[in-house]
């Protein structure tokens, strides 16, 4: 997904830092650069704060990644009660342009090809491990440190790119499963629709199915089923003279009294009054 960017990416490593409470005390818990001069990759491992970049603001906490490029306006603020602790990788780069076997430096490089702020909660422990190793390599200052750190940094970014791509594919597949389930409900609203059955059809556990359904549709499965059924009942009440008890059964409610109470609660009037309105 990010291969075209990384094929041209050869950074000069400038610094790998671990920032914490002492850093924030010195700066009174606010750090501002009106014009950044370096690229910076930051991973928060503890604390709370905010990040402002070119006027956009994000809340920060453990498991959050942020990054910036040169010539940007950046403000990083920390909670005093829970100071931000984070790894920070500073680097420079110009994209390498290859023409046959000749190479030249391109214009100023773009920011890293990720969202400017994003969570990596599922992969947090692994990212922290990699950055801890990167920081240790930089601190040791052994022979060939910059080359080794560059290699480890590139490897880490490759891993992160693959993890984000895999997550995006999973989210796309999950969205498709929930969309299919919603379509099934719309097409079969008159049948008995139990959450456990719908979850099995989506190859998900019942509890996880409910969480995902709410996340992607804005409704619980129960709320969505009732919405579809009551919308259909409204159509039938307006367009036919069928008895209310039959309409209740036609839209999936075997108990007409339950249908009437539910309709009145959700619509604000009883079915008979709705038909006359």
**Residue range 2-41, pLDDT digits in tens:** 677 888 899 999 999 999 999 999 999 999 999 999 999 9
Q: pTM score, two decimals?
A: 0.64
Dist CA 275 CA 19 (whole Å): 67
Give the C-alpha separation, 130 to 166, whole Å: 19
pLDDT digits (tens, 9 = 90+) for 202-241: 888 999 899 888 888 888 999 999 999 999 999 999 999 9
Tokens of 68: 């910036």
Which pLDDT value is given to residue 1?
A: 56
Contact 60, 51 (CB under 8 A): yes
Among candidate residues 138, 169, 200, the one where a domain is terminated: 169
CATH number of the domain at 83, please. Answer: 2.60.120.280
Q: Do 229 and 124 share a structural domain? A: no
- pLDDT value for 162: 87
Are 127 and 233 found together in one domain? Answer: no
Terminal C-alpha separation, the chain: 56
Last residue of a domain, one of 169, 201, 224: 169
pLDDT at 262: 94
Radius of gyration of the chain (CA): 28
Domain of residue 37 covers: 3-169
221 shares a domain with 138: no
| Three-state SS at 189 | coil
Q: What's CA 85's distance to the chain center, in Å?
A: 22
In terms of domains, do 219 and 155 share one? no
Q: Under a CB-based contact definition with an 8 Å cutoff, are residues 81 and 88 in contact?
A: no
pLDDT value of residue 164: 84
Q: Is residue 179 part of a domain?
A: no
Instruction: Let me know whether 160 and 246 are in one domain.
Output: no
> Does 77 map to a domain?
yes
> Are residues 208 and 93 located together in one domain of the fold?
no
Kind and range of the H or E element at 37? none
Query: For every one of its 277 residues, what pLDDT tens digit does the chain have, with 9 covering 90 and above?
Result: 567 788 889 999 999 999 999 999 999 999 999 999 999 999 999 999 999 999 999 999 999 999 999 999 999 999 999 999 999 999 999 998 777 778 888 878 889 999 999 999 878 999 999 999 999 999 998 888 999 999 999 999 999 998 887 776 766 777 888 889 999 999 999 999 999 999 999 888 999 899 888 888 888 999 999 999 999 999 999 999 999 999 999 999 999 999 999 999 999 999 999 998 8
SS3 194: coil
Residue 231 phi/psi, 5° resolution? -60, -40
State the Cα–Cα distance between residues 46 and 80, nearest whole angstrom.
13
CATH of the domain at 234: 1.10.10.60
Instruction: Flag whether 193 is in a domain.
Output: yes
pLDDT at 168: 66
Number of domains into which the chain is organized? 2
């Amino acid at each position: 997904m990010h291969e075209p960017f990384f094929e041209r990416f050869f950074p000069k490593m400038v610094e790998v830092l671990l920032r914490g409470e002492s850093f924030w005390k010195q700066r009174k818990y606010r750090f501002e650069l009106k014009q950044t001069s370096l690229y910076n990759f930051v991973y928060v491992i503890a604390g709370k704060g905010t990040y402002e970049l070119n006027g956009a603001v994000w809340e920060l906490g453990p498991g959050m990644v942020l990054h910036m490029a040169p010539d940007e306006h950046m403000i990083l603020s920390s909670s005093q009660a829970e100071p931000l602790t984070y790894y920070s990788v500073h680097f420079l780069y110009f994209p390498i342009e290859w023409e046959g076997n000749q190479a030249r430096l391109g214009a100023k490089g773009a920011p890293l090809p990720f969202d400017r702020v994003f969570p990596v909660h599922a992969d947090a422990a692994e990212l922290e491990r990699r950055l801890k190793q990167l920081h240790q390599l930089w601190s040791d200052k052994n022979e060939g440190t910059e080359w080794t750190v560059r290699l480890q940094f590139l490897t880490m970014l490759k891993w992160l790119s693959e993890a984000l791509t895999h997550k995006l594919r999973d989210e796309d597949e999950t969205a498709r499963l929930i969309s299919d389930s919603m379509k099934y409900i719309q097409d079969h609203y008159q049948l008995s629709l139990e959450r456990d059955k719908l979850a099995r059809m989506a190859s998900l556990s019942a509890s996880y199915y409910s969480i995902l359904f709410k996340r992607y549709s804005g409704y619980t499965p129960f709320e969505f089923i009732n919405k579809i059924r009551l919308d259909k009942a409204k159509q039938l009440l307006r367009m036919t003279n069928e008895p209310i008890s039959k309409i209740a059964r036609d839209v999936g409610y075997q108990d007409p009294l339950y249908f009437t109470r539910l309709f009145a609660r959700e619509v604000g009037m009883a079915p008979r009054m709705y038909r006359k309105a």
